[in-house]
Amino acid sequence: MGRSPCCDKNGVKKGPWTAEEDQKLIDYIRFHGPGNWRILPKNAGLQRCGKSCRLRWTNYLRPDIKRGRFSFEEEETIIQLHSVMGNKWSAIAARLPGRTDNEIKNHWNTHIRKRLIRSGIDPVTHSPRLDLLDLSSLLGALFNQPNFSSVATQASSLLNPDVLRLASLLLPLQNPNPVYSSNLDQNLQTPITSSECSQPQAESTTPTNNETSSFELMNARLDDVASGDVLPPLSESFDLDSLMSTPISSPQRNSIEAEANSSSFFDFGFPDDFILDDFMF
């Protein structure tokens, strides 16, 4: 036996609200206050389901709703809260005065989520995507290929530019291979520079500190891995340079290396007989 419907479907209007309906709802709530949504439409003279009235009020008509573009601070808050709370939109909305859960959810799905993905950040875990870390290891191995030039050309033409962009962030900035750099930059059209990582992009309302914080996120990921409760241990032959090549002097590298040496999980070493051409079709 199923639940009884929240409202009588017959004679209940659906779809976009008219200005007249809005005014009726506002007038009624102004006089009686919100609540009692089941009987509200009848009393207010609306051919609507109570649920629809509640949604219209809480998401659109409430006087304390702030409309318009999300500010940089608001977006940052959403990202931080989402990394802790996940898809608890109402809890996130509670920390953003004037914003509704529906509005935040929509903004996340249409803007923030896509931007994180473009930056190589998993929007669910807020960590760098491990498949892209695999890629960085793969590309790192390219440097050691004797026929690097032709292989790099193939790679840059076959791979998604966004993937290459992230890979370029993870790969050695201190050890630019001229062939690799020119191929990569051609493919990306906008050359990657080390300073770009810490500067806001002009067209974006949000600085790219998703990228600048990628090492922190990666460290957090490594913490999880090093603790041993995420994935089983692997071989002893960990090759950090094949994973990433942060400058030797970088404190991040020391941190990552220390973590890596305590774990053998990131074993991205390639066998001697590995033929990249076979892998790349």
Partner DNA sequence: AAGCCGATCAACCGCAATGTT
Partner DNA sequence: CAACATTGCGGTTGATCGGCT
**Least distance CB 82 / DNA (angstroms):** 10
Nearer to DNA, 55 or 197 (CB): 55
In angstroms, the CA 42 to CA 52 distance is 13
Residues 62-101 that bind DNA (CB under 7 A): 87-91, 101
Establish if 26 lies at the interface with DNA (CB under 7 A): no
Establish if 205 lies at the interface with DNA (CB under 7 A): no
Nearer to DNA, 70 or 266 (CB): 70
**Least distance CB 134 / DNA (angstroms):** 26
SS3 per residue for 168-193: HHHCCCCCCCHHHHHHHHHHHCCCCC
Establish if 54 lies at the interface with DNA (CB under 7 A): yes
Establish if 105 lies at the interface with DNA (CB under 7 A): yes
Nearer to DNA, 96 or 133 (CB): 96
Of residues 8, 10, 16, 237, which one binds DNA by CB under 7 A? 16
Residue 152 burial (10 A CB sphere; 0-12, 13-18, 19+): buried
Distance (Å) of CA 176 to CA 35, 54, 245, 246: 64, 59, 11, 12
Six-digit token pair at 254? 């020391």
H-helix segments, 119-274: 130-142, 148-158, 161-170, 178-188, 209-212, 214-226, 240-243, 251-261
- Of 49-57, 131-139, 144-152, 212-220, the window that binds DNA (rule: CB under 7 A) is 49-57
**Least distance CB 76 / DNA (angstroms):** 17
Q: Is the distance from CB of 237 to CB of 267 less than 8 angstroms?
A: yes
In angstroms, the CA 96 to CA 80 distance is 12
Of residues 26, 60, 76, 154, which one binds DNA by CB under 7 A? 60
What is the greatest pairwise CA distance in the chain? Answer: 80
Of residues 24, 56, 126, 165, which one binds DNA by CB under 7 A? 56
Binding footprint of DNA on the chain (CB under 7 A): 3-4, 6, 13-17, 35-39, 48-52, 54-56, 59-60, 87-91, 101-103, 105-107, 109-111, 114
